[in-house]
């Protein structure tokens, strides 16, 4: 089974995303787990209840928003063999579950080849205008080789027209691989590079191949509040961690700290409502 893990804090885009994704999320082999950190849990329940989902759970996490922490808690609560780490503003165009399954079963992890913007003009305006308009795409591949023989690869794709890009935060990964690297690193501050860090550590530690498939749509919104300084700071922290041979995330510490404080409600499809349930941490 696939478990879709969606970190959330007062993002109304989730309402649109779930209605579009319900075609794929309503399958019997898909579980949707939304982790609320600092948002209005009643509003979240209304959003999720409005979607046609076969299996769904809402986790209320008593913490300010930390995407890595949310993902780790979601992985702790969910029951799927495969995890689909997704954002609240992403919609699927094709059935990525069936496309990714053979690659996951073969031991790899999967990222979308393209993230298409729903409003490219807004992206171009935020950049300050179009550049390099003669290009349709700009693609770079980055390889990282460590002195002790570890290897990882990243791939970046962007469009001067603002209509597509790639993003490391949206991946499908085997649950056992996620647990083996101790999940995300919630010790990183603010926003940025925490998702790249997971992809790198999975490759450095486990040597698993990275695959790209299909495309998803990002519901374009204003990102002006994001702090680029935290991205740069987290990059430096991660590189220093790798230099010291520190390749593990923080899921064990996160579960120890928050596991007994979680409030979990699962959808009762027959009753059409959410029922509180016990969680063994």
Confidence of residue 223 (pLDDT cuts 50, 70, 90): low
Taking only the tens place, the pLDDT of each residue in 17-45 is 999 999 999 998 999 999 999 999 999 99
| More reliable by pLDDT, 170 or 163 | 170
Q: Does the pLDDT value for residue 278 go beyond 90?
A: no
Question: In whole numbers, what is the pLDDT of the chain averaged over residues?
Answer: 88
Q: Judge contact between 204 and 151, C-beta under 8 A.
A: yes
Look at phi and psi of residue 193 and say left if phi exceeds 0, alpha if psi is from -120 to 50, else beta. Answer: left
Taking only the tens place, the pLDDT of each residue in 91-121 is 999 999 999 999 999 999 999 988 888 876 6
Q: In which domain, by residue range, is 43 found?
A: 2-277
SS3 of 153, please?
strand
CATH number for the domain spanning 120: value is 3.90.550.10
C-alpha distances in Å from residue 170, one per residue of 81, 103, 189, 255? 17, 16, 19, 22
Q: Does the pLDDT value for residue 227 go beyond 90?
A: no
Task: Report the domain count for the chain.
Answer: 1
To which residue do tokens 């935060």 refer? 169
Q: How many helices (H) and strands (E) does the chain have?
A: 9, 13
Q: Does the pLDDT value for residue 201 go beyond 60?
A: yes
DSSP 81-121: SEEEE--TTEEESS-HHHHHHHHHHTT-EEEEEEEEES-HH
Confidence of residue 162 (pLDDT cuts 50, 70, 90): low
């Amino acid at each position: 089974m696939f478990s879709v893990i969606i970190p959330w804090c007062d993002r109304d885009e989730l309402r649109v995303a779930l209605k579009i994704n319900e075609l794929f999320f309503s399958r019997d082999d898909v579980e949707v787990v939304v982790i609320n950190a600092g948002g209005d849990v009643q509003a979240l329940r209304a959003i999720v209840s409005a979607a046609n989902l076969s299996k769904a759970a809402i986790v209320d996490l008593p913490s300010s928003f930390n995407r890595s922490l949310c993902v780790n808690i979601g992985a702790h609560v969910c029951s799927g063999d495969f995890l689909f780490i997704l954002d609240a503003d992403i919609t699927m165009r094709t059935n990525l579950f069936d496309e990714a399954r053979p690659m996951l079963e073969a031991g790899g992890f999967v990222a979308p080849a393209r993230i298409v913007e729903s409003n490219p003009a807004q992206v171009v305006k935020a950049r300050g205008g179009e550049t390099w308009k003669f290009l349709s795409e700009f693609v770079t591949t980055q390889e990282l080789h460590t002195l002790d023989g570890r290897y990882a690869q990243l791939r970046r794709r962007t469009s001067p027209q603002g209509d597509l890009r790639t993003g490391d935060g949206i991946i499908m990964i085997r649950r056992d691989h996620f647990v083996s690297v101790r999940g995300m690193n919630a010790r990183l501050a603010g926003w940025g590079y925490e998702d790249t860090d997971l992809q790198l550590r999975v490759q450095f530690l486990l040597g698993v191949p990275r695959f790209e498939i299909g495309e998803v749509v990002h519901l374009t919104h204003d990102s002006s509040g994001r702090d680029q300084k935290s991205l740069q700071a987290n990059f430096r922290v991660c590189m220093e961690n790798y230099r010291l041979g520190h390749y593990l995330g923080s899921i064990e510490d996160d579960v120890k700290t928050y596991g007994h404080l979680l409030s979990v409600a699962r959808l009762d499809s027959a009753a059409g409502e959410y029922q509180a349930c016990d969680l063994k941490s």
